[in-house]
Structure 1
Amino acid sequence: MDVAVAGFAYTVSVRQEFSESTDPERSARLVVELAHGLTGRPGRWRDRKSRTLEEALGVILGEIEARAVEDARRRQDEQRARAEREVRWQAAMDVAKERAVRSQLAEVLREEAGRWQEAAVLSAYCTALERRIGELDGAVDESALDSARRWLQWARGYVGSIDPLTRLAGMPHTREPTPEELKPYLRGWSPYGSERRDGR
């Protein structure tokens, strides 16, 4: 049978100690067993000449109550540990999100700096081409100069289109990082919840 105390159920079984015995005194002896579960506490009581099971009933019930107290404490400890783990996981997630967003912004910055460098090199080329056209004005065929001026005009337009500083740069928009983007910053935590560790 199960005995319930404070939401915990404890299985108690009663059986003959010597069920095969033909001796009526031996076959009348009973054993009460309380399933051990997670405890190393005593869990078996027998009829003895010095004490019957009826006399040990208070001890048995006391043992069930003691186990209920232990189990309640264990449950509270597990709930506290779970809550603490959740707090640590949330703190790790907050840091990971901050770092993943910083990584997004750094990537945008690197892309803009790359475009700016390219624009600066191409702009320097356009300036050099313009100077060269000025140097050769009247010394070469007008159609060649006209072609070079058209090329310079297109090149300056292109440089303006790729130069990120032709307009005032603003704070880029970021997006919510994906779980895969968070993993490198979580130090073993799973991005899917505090109960899981990365890779498990």
Structure 2
Amino acid sequence: MILEEIEARVLEDARRRDSEERATVERAVRWRAAVAEAKARAVEDQLVDVLREEAERWREAAALGEYCTALERRLGELDGAIDESDLDSARRWLEWAYGYARAIDPLLRLPGMPSTREPTPEELGPHLKGWSPYKPERRNGW
């Protein structure tokens, strides 16, 4: 009777250890998959940031270009109607402004695929759906 009880407990302990080991392996597999997906999304976030920055510079360059075109038109309207030194000053300003607008335009040169870097654990966090970025466990008891 005692021997049977000991054998039953040994078997139960072995089953429990096997079950815990399987759960640990399954958790690690799910975590690695979550990290891989989170890395892809975090790298995409990096690319989105670059795209938004370039689009903002392009919008600014376009707006400045429109300003320069309007100023050039206004100078043409005023030619001979105001002091020549004022016109010269405005033309120098216009020339500088055109140059600046061209310099910040990201489409003047053909853009290439931006370089990305390995995401930090903090960048992975929002994409991990409750997983820890450091080890195969859930955060906040999930």
**What is the TM-score normalised by the length of structure 2?**
0.90
Q: Are 2:73 and 1:121 aligned?
A: no
Pairwise CA distance, 1:69: 2.1
Code of the aligned partner of 2:40:
E
Gaps in structure 2 of 5+ consecutive residues: none
The amino acid that maps onto 2:115 is H
Q: Structure 1 residue 199: deviation in Å?
A: 3.9
Q: Which amino acid aligns with 1:121?
A: A
Please state whether the residue corresponding to 1:171 is helix, strand or coil.
coil
Q: What is the number of residues matched between the two proteins?
A: 141
CA RMSD of aligned residues (A): 1.6
Structure with the higher strand share, 1 or 2: 1
The structural deviation recorded for 1:158 is 1.0
Partner of 1:4: none
1:198 alignment counterpart:
139
Q: CA deviation at 1:170?
A: 1.2
Q: Give the superposition deviation at 1:189.
A: 0.8
CA distance in structure 2 between the aligned counterparts of 1:70 and 1:173, rounded to whole angstroms: 54
Aligned residue in 2 for 1:107: 49
In the TM superposition, 1:12-91 aligns within 5 A as: 59-91=1-33
Q: Aligned AA for 1:125?
A: Y
Q: Deviations over 1:97-118 (max 9, x none)?
A: 1111111211111111111111
1:136 Cα offset (Å): 2.0
Q: CA deviation at 1:62?
A: 3.4
Amino acid at match of 1:80: R
Which fold has the larger relative contact order, with Cα–Cα distance below 8 Å and residues 6 or more apart in sequence?
Answer: 2
Aligned residue in 2 for 1:153: 95
TM-score when normalising by structure 1:
0.65
- Whose Rg is larger? 1
Residue 126 of structure 1, CA deviation: 0.6
- The runs of 5 or more residues in structure 1 that have no matched partner are 1-58
Indicate the residue corresponding to 1:95 in structure 2.
Answer: 37
